[in-house]
Homo-oligomer: A and B are copies of this chain.
């Protein structure tokens, strides 16, 4: 006794989603076919639509429906600053701070040899071209402070500095509301090392 072939095929297809194993995929398939056929139809259409129209911005490499995304096309942005982030969600977090008016470049990943993601997968050729457009004066590395994010920042900064581009890295230190008693020692050590003179 097996499930109908089309159902088995759906379960198999659902497993391409990150974090979805055989059991979750089966549960999702049952749920969609039994309780939310409308949602399943909308999902199929949305996937097709997104695959058709969503590509990457030629400048910042973020997801975009246009060749140049609205942010890169905006005349209000400062073209001398280029901030490098790992993912579009990082870009959005930075935008929410409302403290940065420069441009972005989205790597769409991080160097992660264990996952088979090397320099070629994070669009470094596109980044080098972007950073050498003659307008960019400083590149800000805003990758995560994880092992992979740090390795990526190091690799990218070597590449850029070899081409005479000024590179900076976002600061490490205590978070807002952080208490010295409770912060981890790695963060505290960095906060000490990167202390700033009070003027």
Binding site for B on A (CB under 8 A): 1-7, 9-10, 12-14, 16-19, 24, 26-34, 36-37, 39-54, 63-65, 69-71, 87-89, 91-92, 95, 108-109
Contact = CB atoms under 8 A, between A and B. Distances in A.
B46 A10 contact: yes
Contact of A65 (B5, B46, B47, B69): B5
A36 to B, nearest CB: 5
Given A9-B46, A33-B63, 15 more contacts: A6-B53, A10-B47, A13-B45, A17-B28, A18-B28, A18-B31, A19-B24, A19-B27, A30-B63, A33-B50, A33-B54, A34-B109, A43-B44, A44-B44, A44-B51
A144 B6 CA distance: 27
Chain A contact residues, majority secondary structure: helix
Nearest to A109: B34
A155 to B, nearest CB: 19
B13 A42 contact: yes
